[in-house]
Structure 1
Amino acid sequence: MQLAPLQTIISCMNVLDKNGLRIGIDLGGSKIELIAMDRDGNELLRFRRATPAKDYMATVKTVAEMVGEADRELAAAASIGIGTPGAISLKTGLMKNCNSTCLNGQMLKEDIEAELRREVRMSNDANCFALSEAVDGAAAGAGVVFGVILGTGVGGGIVVNGHVLSGINSIAGEWGHNPLPSPFGSELTGHGCYCGRKGCIETWLSGPAMADDHLRSGGGLMRPDEIAAGVEQGDPLCRFTLERYCDRLARALAGVINILDPDVIVLGGGLSNIKMLYDQVPKLWGRYIFSDEVTTQLLPPKHGDSSGVRGAAWLWGHE
């Protein structure tokens, strides 16, 4: 696919300076969401389209069509940031680590730019979540922010002084595929992970992992939100499951604090709605952190499910 002419890309690089309009796109496995914001982060429009199933070129064209529709509604060109389910390999320029597997091995950034004939900026969806919460969310004004995704999978993103830290290997923040710290008892054997290893943090802290842990402990088949509701209703098995989860999350985040020492950790994903985490985890992580005092804050997201797409829009001016 032929790339857009250089003069077209250069002219589009100045779009943000002219009108401050930003388009953010969250490229998910089942849906593609677009948001347009002004320079102050006020939402101007938002809409979604279904992601073409396992069809790479149809996905690229759907993104281009959505941007075209937004351009017409805005009656002006805007900068474009895209949050992706994986990362661009610095070695090959191809997408990697995408759970939307049709994206892997593709020149996604270049192909979308060729369709749009303008520059786009792209980052991992967890990085976009962290950036959104760092710019104008729960961690606004904090110097170092670690954004956590606790959902179907476990991921993370790092923002330092308003800029995404991607790392030399484009894997900064990928804490979900480190081993669970300080395992004991049944944790020592670990569980297999799709990455090919055993005992990854993701296999203990994802939503499916919590449900599996509850089932293995005799609590029956329940979703995480049902387990949290069971705690409120006084179910002891639900409480034991959530207490185990809190301790594992405390150990995992203590490892992050020992290395990164962030000002704020913001939780995202479906499990971030469990209120008990914000009370219990900070009470537990001190025993695993190499400091006599821990002032890192653990906070829920301000923008909730919108953080990913908002963070994509903020990629312009915050890289």
Structure 2
Amino acid sequence: MQIGVDFGGTKIEAAALDAGGRFLARVRAPNPGDYDQAIRDVVALIGRVEAEVGRCGTVGIGTPGSISPRTGMMRNSNSTYLNGRTFREDLEVALGREARLANDANCMALSEAVDGAAAGARSAFAVIIGTGVGGGLVVDGQIVEGSHGITGEWGHVPLPWMTADEFPGPRCWCGQHGCIETMVSGTGLQASHAGLAGHRLDGAAIVQAVHRGDPVATKALDIYVDRLGRALAMIVNIVDPDLFVLGGGMSNVVELYERLPDVIRRYAFSDQWDGRIVAAQWGDSSGVRGAARLWPR
């Protein structure tokens, strides 16, 4: 039995999978916002899952951010109280057994490559576009983390092929300007629309306005699609994956799947691009499933 823990910004979920990938048990708790309590909550959730199923399992954990290979400490997590802490080791002590940990976008990529939308593909780049932007790369069924553990952090490079009116771009929380995350996240769409309309709407409301024919919302979405397409074309030019798997709130915008390929073709350094862009088959469950899959079946 494989147990996955999806450590999200607002909730923590633990789930057990059988050898065929079927859910045996799922439990959730709010993210407590405190390090010591988070350790206790994760241990308690795993205990609840194992009690419900009646046996113990391997434990994999997906978190925002990653472990520094140099220090062994967490970094780059938007649950900032994890940063600078030996999260995996502290969990292992509390659990009394080994645990495996990976970035949440990497977990999504692994989940979709094993038995989801990317099953059978040699290479897949998973894209999380929600409040922020994350990414994960799987090749031949294996997560590619890189020598510094930051493969897939495409959200923190500058938006490629910036126009004069885009440069230098908004300041990002990471300290740089013009990061992809500031422009192609759901938050980026909201900011672009607010700049045009003079008032703020959430992403769902903007898309609804597009469907009603609102010209300002339509322009904001046009800008967003062009920016996201440029960002994905950069990944094509570096990694050239067989397909992209989209997750996060913006992955529900159906127009993206229709319109992004044409933008990518304009910027891909190739005479053709016929890769695929698909929605995550497992949706919000991809993270916890991928965390469980950090251990082989």
Same-fold call, TM > 0.5? yes
| Residue of 251, 257, 266 corresponding to 1:272 | 251
Runs of 4+ in structure 1 off by over 4 angstroms are none
Q: Aligned partners of 2:50, 2:246: CA distance in 1, in Å?
A: 33
For 1:221 and 1:261, locate their aligned partners in 2 and report how far apart those are by CA, in whole Å. Answer: 36
User: One-letter code of the match for 2:211?
Assistant: E
CA distance in 1, matches of 2:272, 2:9: 41
- How far apart, CA to CA, are the structure 1 residues paired with 2:168 and 2:153? 22
Letter in 1 for 2:153: E
- AA in 1 matched with 2:176: R
| C-alpha distance after superposition, 1:191-216 (max 9, x if no partner) | 10000000000110111111010010
Q: What is the CA distance between 1:223 and its match in structure 2? A: 1.0
- Aligned pair 1:38/2:48, yes or no? no
* Structure 2: gaps (5+ residues): none
Choose 277-286 or 215-224, whichever is displaced more. Answer: 215-224
1:189 CA drift (Å): 2.7
Corresponding residue of 1:242: 221
Pair 1:117–1:231, CA change in 2 (3 A): same
1:165-199 CA distances to partner (integer Å, 9 max, x unpaired)?
11101100000000000010320131100000000
Segments of structure 1 that go 5 or more residues without pairing to the other structure are: 1-20
Give a deviation string over 1:133-171, Cα, whole Å, max 9, x none: 111111111110000010110110000111111110110
Match of 2:62 among 76, 83, 90: 83
Task: Confirm or deny that 1:184 pairs with 2:163.
Answer: yes
Q: In the TM superposition, what is the alpha-carbon distance from 1:219 to its structure 2 partner?
A: 5.8
**Which of 89, 108, 112 lines up with 1:133 in the alignment?**
112
Match of 1:9 in 2: none
Q: In structure 1, which of residues 178, 182, 202 is the aligned counterpart of residue 181 of structure 2? A: 202
Equivalent positions of 1:1-319 (< 5 A) are 21-53=1-33, 55-218=34-197, 220-317=199-296
2: CA distance, partners of 1:201 / 1:214? 17
The whole-number CA distance in structure 1 between the counterparts of 2:131 and 2:9 is 12
Q: Deviation per CA, 1:100-155, whole angstroms, max 9, x where unpaired?
A: 11111111111111111111111000101111111111111111000001011011
Give the letter aligned to residue 24 of structure 1. G
Asked whether the equivalents of residues 159 and 227 of structure 2 are also in contact (C-alpha less than 8 Å), the reply is yes
Give the letter for the 2:201 counterpart. Answer: M
Is the Cα–Cα contact under 8 Å of residues 182 and 188 in structure 2 kept in the other structure?
yes
Question: What's the TM-score once normalised by structure 2's chain length?
Answer: 0.98
Q: Distance in 1 between matches of 2:103 and 2:11?
A: 16
Range that drifts further, 270-279 or 29-38: 29-38
Query: Take 1:234 and 1:30, find their aligned partners in 2: how far apart are those partners?
Result: 34
Question: Equivalent residue of 1:72, what SS?
Answer: helix
Cα shift at 1:218: 1.9
Report how far residue 224 of structure 1 moved: 1.1
Post-superposition CA distance 1:60-118 (Å, at most 9, x none):
11111111111111111111110011101100001111111111111111111111111
| Contact 1:219 1:238 (8 Å CA) reproduced | no
